[in-house]
Amino acid sequence: MTMRHAMRALGGILRREMLRLFGQKGRLAAAVVRPLVWLGIFAAGFRAVLGLSIIPPYETYILYEVYIVPGLAAMMLLFHGMQTSLSMVYDREMGSMRVLLTAPLSRWWLLAARLFANAVTALPLVYVFLFLSRFWEVQPPMLGYVLALPAFLIAGLMLGAVGLALSSLIRQLENFAGVMNFVIFPAFFASTALYPLWRFEEVSPALAIVAQLNPFTYAVELIRFALYLKVNLFALAVCCCAFLGFYALAVVGYDPGRGFWARRGAE
């Protein structure tokens, strides 16, 4: 595999994923509207439950900025990673995935290119959401949008690798759709996407431990710190290690000689 062939394959996969995403208008609209609806609902909920109507608007906006918006941006990456992995299962059923993996290129590179393409296609959607959230007076520093780009990419790669590893274990499209909900909502709610960790420790120490073990928590924290011009080195390390672990599982799972396909074929 030469560098020229590898980059040509990466470009082709990236172009295919871009055309697929932006050709699905309903999916685009849902990807942007979903976090905006959640933002409006949770904003109203915080006002009602915590009595934020009597707190000065500035403090209300600080709560939105620090906890809700970065968490919802990470949720977009999680949904996108799972949906693109769902398309992997579909491609495998239709046979196009098998054709891709039989290309004269390393399997690890093809899967890495697919992960990178999935993460890159999610970035415009996340930035559209961040722009629209400014109408809620959620306004991180402008430089934060630039510094958050690597955080979005790393988090997208890690969450995409989770979906890719799951897609290597599940053969049927219907089964994977059910697993998506089983993964997305526990990962989202058992994290610091909406509440700080000390709140979990006050309410339920066991749930706080779950949140600390949840890789999605560190994707949220990585984005949250980056938006405000800081680097959370521990969250960065966890995200990178989780990405490598799930990616390795996906590479093994998609290997016909060693992975899940081979075992199922032998049954």
Distance (Å, whole) CA 237 – CA 243: 10
What is the average pLDDT across 98-123?
Answer: 79
Instruction: Supply the pLDDT for residue 146.
Output: 93
What are the two backbone dihedrals, phi and then psi, of residue 224, each rounded to the nearest 5 degrees? -60, -45
Instruction: Supply the pLDDT for residue 267.
Output: 43
Distance (Å, whole) CA 95 – CA 170: 15
- pLDDT single digits (tens) 16-28: 777 777 777 776 7
Q: Of 54, 75, 64, 86, which is closest to residue 220 (Cα–Cα)?
A: 75
- pLDDT single digits (tens) 168-220: 777 666 666 677 778 888 898 888 888 778 777 878 888 889 999 999 999 99
137 Rama sector, left if φ>0, alpha if ψ -120 to 50, beta otherwise: left
Instruction: Supply the pLDDT for residue 263.
Output: 46
Residue 210, domain extent: 3-266
Instruction: Supply the pLDDT for residue 98.
Output: 62
Instruction: Supply the pLDDT for residue 103.
Output: 64
Instruction: Supply the pLDDT for residue 143.
Output: 92
Q: Is 98 exposed, middle or buried (0-12, 13-18, 19+ CB in 10 A)?
A: middle
**Number of neighbours of residue 27 by Cβ within 10 angstroms:** 15
Instruction: Supply the pLDDT for residue 1.
Output: 60
Q: Hey, is 254 helix, strand or coil?
A: coil
Q: Is the pLDDT of residue 242 over 90?
A: yes
**Number of neighbours of residue 226 by Cβ within 10 angstroms:** 26
| Higher local confidence (pLDDT), 183 or 46 | 183
pTM: 0.82
DSSP-derived letter for residue 141 is -
Q: Of 167, 179, 175, which is closest to residue 261 (Cα–Cα)?
A: 167
Instruction: Supply the pLDDT for residue 9.
Output: 72
Q: Is the pLDDT of residue 99 over 80?
A: no
Mean pLDDT over the full length of the chain = 79
Domain tally, the chain: 1
- For the stretch 229-232, contacts whose Cβ atoms lie closer than 8 Å and that sit 24 or more positions apart, written own/partner, are 229/141, 229/143, 229/144, 229/147
